[in-house]
Amino acid sequence: MNKYGLNIACFCLALLLLTTPARGIENPNILFLICDDLNCDIGSYGHPQVKTPHIDRLASRGVLFSNAHCQYPLCGPSRASFMSGLYPDQTLVRRNAIYIRERIPNVLTIPQAFRLDGYFAVRIGKVFHYNVPRHIGTSGHDDPYSWNYTINPRGRDKDEEDKIFSLDPNNFGGTLSWLAADGTDNEQTDGIAATEAVALLKRYSHTNQRFFMTVGLYRPHTPYVAPRKYFEMYPLDTVRVPDVPDGYLQQLPNPAIMSIRRKENQIELDTEIARQVIQAYYASISFADAQLGRVLSALKTTGLDKTTIVVFTSDHGYHMGEHGHWQKTTLFENSTRVPLVIAGPGVLQKGVTADGLAELVDIYPTMSDMAGQPKPKHLSGVSLRPMLEDASNAVRSSALTQYSNGYSIRTNRYRYTQWGPDGGLGAELYDHESDPAELVNIYGRPGMEDVQMEMQVRLNSRINYAKQKPLGIKQILEITDRRVPQPNP
């Protein structure tokens, strides 16, 4: 028996032990699809070049959130935040390589809460933090309490690291690196993840077990590895490198400058290299989209699409040369804004865009709300269900993101960022009506005093709320009257 057959056999044994009667569509399944380091360079988000037909198709049967933001533009803190429904100042996870229970031992994660309600929770690939590509094929910094069953795919992208080009030789995850790979989609780690997900969905279609399945793809995280055909979709002479105005840095406070110039080998890239980087990133996006398409196709052919809520997102945004920066970890729109699409039962509008603000921390209460399960009272997010029923509704007046010693708030019109206690290390203000690229810092300009004061008051209020101590596990259990699942054996 090959390793995939063994995985399915183990899954079936566990499923037989935990199967419970189905409750019908009022208690839908959950399919949670997460890409790694994916910004909004997606067809359905208006990108003129990047091809993502499967994500676009998902958006056509659900609600696309055009103004959703992460809470920390770094993989580990962001994932710990949205998987727990808590802000980074509550989880205390503000860097990578941390197991969430090192900081908040009694946390009740999203899949853990669904397990309490009788769901079978499955993880395929990266959900909590992994060092990429080092931890591919392992459990990384996963949380074993969250799952009934886990799969750690490993493909050619991991086995052929010696073929990858990197600006910093032998360093792939934290720097710009890429490979137009030989072979097929199915040989790549994310292709294997899709294969596993398809097989499990087919099994689920013959059972009455409700499931919470999370498929976490590694792409488009560096190294940008995808089969060569995806690179060929983006000829280098069609790739545009963003322009940065002369003297741009002079208007920024020092912490903001440090955030966009923290990697010396990625500053002022040669145009030819920059185009190759962008081509590779776009190729990785289209490759990831193809794997999501395989999973979504299986959901439809099995008929499970009628009883399954699909949530698609990324852990944070990403720069492709905007502001002269590459990758993540800034408090600009490119780094904070994320794709978010929700479709399935209970989503009353199809193919519509919700322009109201949303945060990744809202995913947990939204899933609980849509599934009709008891919502843990410790959650800091708000349910997006009103926007799924009518996309013109709004549930937030602002979205909060933090990084390092800075906090940033996004309203429908403005972004306000302050660095250090009470903005003592500098501040930024951007008007999205006139400056959607956030290239003109209008903080301190005449006539902006009232806006600055209002935004500062809003931001400090949000910071105080985000720092509130979450409820302890005994309080949570008293409220929910449920038993915490034990770790995945």
- The residue with greater pLDDT, 440 or 9, is 440
Distant-in-sequence, close-in-space partners of 446: CB < 8 Å, separation ≥ 6: none
402, 89 Cβ separation under 8 angstroms: yes
Question: Model confidence at 7, in pLDDT bands (50, 70, 90)?
Answer: low
Whether residue 370 is contained in a domain is answered as yes
Whether residue 164 is contained in a domain is answered as yes
* CATH code assigned at 152: 3.40.720.10
Q: How many C-beta neighbours within 10 Å does residue 312 have? A: 24
Phi, psi (deg, nearest 5) at residue 314? -130, 165
The number of distinct structural domains making up the chain is: 1
pLDDT digits (tens, 9 = 90+) for 8-28: 555 544 444 444 333 336 789
Beta bridge partners of 121: 212
Take residue 264 and report the two structure tokens written for it.
């010396």
Which single residue is written with the structure tokens 């439809």?
300
Burial profile 64-99: b = 16 or more Cβ within 10 angstroms, e = fewer: bbbbbbbbbbbbbbbbbbbbbbbbbbbbebbebebb
Percent of the chain with pLDDT over 90: 86
Q: Residue 487: what pLDDT? A: 58
Q: Is 218 exposed, middle or buried (0-12, 13-18, 19+ CB in 10 A)?
A: buried
Question: Model confidence at 79, in pLDDT bands (50, 70, 90)?
Answer: very high
Phi, psi (deg, nearest 5) at residue 407? -130, 145
Percent of the chain with pLDDT over 70: 91
d(CA 427, CA 252): 8
The number of residues making up the chain comes to 489
How many Cα atoms sit within 13 Å of 472 on the Cβ side?
A: 2
Residue of 203, 186, 163, 282 lying closest to 15 (CA atoms): 203
Whether residue 4 is contained in a domain is answered as no
Beta bridge partners of 299: none
d(CA 361, CA 170): 35
Task: Give the end-to-end CA distance of the chain in Å, rounded to a whole number.
Answer: 22
293, 248 Cβ separation under 8 angstroms: no
pLDDT digits (tens, 9 = 90+) for 279-310: 999 999 999 999 999 999 999 999 999 999 99
pLDDT digits (tens, 9 = 90+) for 38-71: 999 999 999 999 999 999 999 999 999 999 999 9
Whether residue 445 is contained in a domain is answered as no
d(CA 55, CA 148): 28
pLDDT digits (tens, 9 = 90+) for 333-344: 999 999 999 999
CA gyration radius, the chain: 22
Whether residue 402 is contained in a domain is answered as no
Q: Residue 475: what pLDDT? A: 54
Whether residue 15 is contained in a domain is answered as no
158, 145 Cβ separation under 8 angstroms: no
The boundaries of the domain holding residue 37 are: 29-396
224-227, strands of its sheet edge to edge:
165-166, 177-181, 224-227
Residue of 383, 380, 376, 425 lying closest to 400 (CA atoms): 380
Distant-in-sequence, close-in-space partners of 433: CB < 8 Å, separation ≥ 6: 413
Which single residue is written with the structure tokens 């905007």?
322
Q: Residue 371: what pLDDT? A: 96
Helix axes 271-301, 189-204, angle to 10 degrees: 10
Whether residue 253 is contained in a domain is answered as yes
d(CA 32, CA 363): 10
d(CA 82, CA 63): 19
Q: Residue 375: what pLDDT? A: 82
Whether residue 427 is contained in a domain is answered as no
Question: Model confidence at 357, in pLDDT bands (50, 70, 90)?
Answer: very high
Q: Residue 457: what pLDDT? A: 97
- The residue with greater pLDDT, 327 or 18, is 327
- Whether the per-residue pLDDT at 215 is higher than 50: the answer is yes
